[in-house]
Structure 1
């Protein structure tokens, strides 16, 4: 093995033969992503991409619980509370997300374990995503008064039908093979095979995307666990595609209530716990993001994120879910009707030119 920052580092960067390997190394923190990690990964990715000898990049997390459970949002809110709205995490994270999405060499993410928020941004925009039976994928931002960022507005609408919007609004957790069946992962490989898979990938001689795909396909085909199971949401997909197709959040609420089925009312109860403001912002974000490039979407999300830093719901959501953990946030808007189109529009408003993210 070549370059390594050492096993005590938060992220370990190695060159193995002609491959780059990124290992997220904060298992006690579920490999959550922080600013210093972003600042190590990004320049290394650019170096590997510029090196004609490097044929692929593989990213994984230490431990069996998480690939990466998210970004360090508490540090962001702490910074904003202190009056510092310049916290650079969002911008630098999005630049990294964009680099992954535009990388000229194959990028393979082994999303074994919890993959949420920042972990989604480190994986979904790459060429290949490998889920295991331990994978748990979710975008739970509505519950903390945030929005599905890290390019969520780009990839979620592309999952087909209204599945992405449903996942964004409800924070529903996809588990195991469902992560692949939903289209979030490209492959499903049993966790016990990961070491063998990684070795075979790293042993490939000057591989291209086709060679990598053949190896991943082989392991996917050999993974029989849950292979015959129906996608867990399949029985509800017709309702998801119908009841989440409204032209506003108010319409979605009305359609769920009018349907009146046990499942629909259960979804309505979940949505009523979320930040009304976040839901309306996310609804517009995903509607517009369906036709945007990843770069354009990340630039929009940077605007939203900057405005969110100054928003009470984000701080209250982090308090309720991550700090005090009472799960009883007091949202600034009591219902959807209290959130005007003008209020939503403010989150999409351009920033001063010097502050904009330009990709």
Structure 2
């Protein structure tokens, strides 16, 4: 059993603590495997009324996954990346379909893989340190872990804006967007965990709701309401080029900033992501996870922007990627074709 994640039962809850604070609790293969084992074991355990998940340290709930390993696996042509993504997406599906309350305490950086092990659960509890984002287009990748499911289901074009730009939501914005369901001040996090571990919980989650409301507070003012009109007007368009045109035409500082952000991202990632979100809006969750695995594996092709993004952001850290030109429609379509029989998505 890995030391990178701690799992145990206490009171009426199953507890999971992500335990790689120096890596902001980024997921690796062993952590994903341990979480799957714990959740499947507790699913039929009548003594476990709910699952509570948090991250060690004050900075990060979970900042993503092992990006460097994924790129190394792609270059080597081995199955490490495929196995990690398959198991991670199985875990995301397990959380989405979990019959018991799943309480993720996202008080800290919550990005990429961290979103996947939180946003699909029944309760996502933001704190004062919450920073929520899907920043994958900035490394030549796509918002996987079910991004193509939850992002299109946010109000208006919020999800498209978040998925394309990698917009970072602070606490109040996370609540306003609906990616967080509750707010508890960071200073009360320990009290909340103690209460969840020691209170008698019921089978329908009512006591959990009472506790979360009791420890809650005012998350503050969100700026999303002011930006929503601009977001919907531009990011509701049908193509990346149309979105950029609308932003350029808007003539305000906010729109100009968004246009600059988009032009810094991988053109391939932007177009594949937009297509994935459009398709994901009409798919069920397992359909999206099947799509995610197909698209993720296609980003491992030789010459992919993913390798350049990892070099620029993770390895050399010069933040000056040299992206490939925008793909054609045929090239975008190729990202979504089935994998060979041995590598298609399967579920627990």
Deviation per residue, 1:291-324 (Å, 9 max, x gap): 2211110111010011111252001001101111
Match of 1:123 among 113, 118, 125: 118
Q: Quick one: distance in 1 between partners of 2:223 and 2:307?
A: 33
What is the aligned partner in structure 2 of residue 330 from structure 1?
Answer: 322
TM-aligned CA deviation for residue 124 of structure 1: 0.2
Match of 1:38 among 32, 39, 48: 32
What is the aligned partner in structure 1 of residue 231 from structure 2?
Answer: 240
Q: Quick one: distance in 2 between partners of 1:160 and 1:206?
A: 32
Match of 1:136 among 124, 128, 131: 131
TM-aligned CA deviation for residue 103 of structure 1: 0.5
What is the aligned partner in structure 2 of residue 110 from structure 1?
Answer: 105
TM-aligned CA deviation for residue 233 of structure 1: 2.4
Count of matched residue pairs: 344
Instruction: Give me the TM-score of the superposition, normalised by structure 2.
Output: 0.96
Deviation per residue, 1:322-354 (Å, 9 max, x gap): 111111111121xxxx42110100000111122
Match of 1:315 among 265, 290, 307: 307
Deviates more, 1:132-141 or 1:82-91: 82-91
Instruction: Give me the TM-score of the superposition, normalised by structure 1.
Output: 0.93
Q: Quick one: distance in 2 between partners of 1:178 and 1:131?
A: 10
Q: CA 1:277–1:85 in structure 2 vs 1: closer, same or farther (change >3 Å)?
A: farther
Q: Quick one: distance in 2 between partners of 1:341 and 1:213?
A: 47
Q: Quick one: distance in 2 between partners of 1:201 and 1:52?
A: 16
Report the secondary structure of 2:193's partner residue.
Answer: helix
Unaligned 5+ segments in structure 1 are none
Q: Quick one: distance in 2 between partners of 1:185 and 1:291?
A: 23
Q: Quick one: distance in 2 between partners of 1:284 and 1:85?
A: 26
What is the aligned partner in structure 1 of residue 335 from structure 2?
Answer: 347
Unaligned 5+ segments in structure 2 are none
Q: CA 1:206–1:176 in structure 2 vs 1: closer, same or farther (change >3 Å)?
A: closer
RMSD over aligned Cα atoms: 1.3
Deviation per residue, 1:117-141 (Å, 9 max, x gap): 0000010000000001100011110
What is the aligned partner in structure 2 of residue 274 from structure 1?
Answer: 265
TM-aligned CA deviation for residue 86 of structure 1: 5.0
What is the aligned partner in structure 2 of residue 84 from structure 1?
Answer: 78
What is the aligned partner in structure 2 of residue 202 from structure 1?
Answer: 197
Q: Quick one: distance in 2 between partners of 1:95 and 1:197?
A: 29
Q: How does 1:175-194 map to 2 (within 5 A)?
A: 175-194=170-189
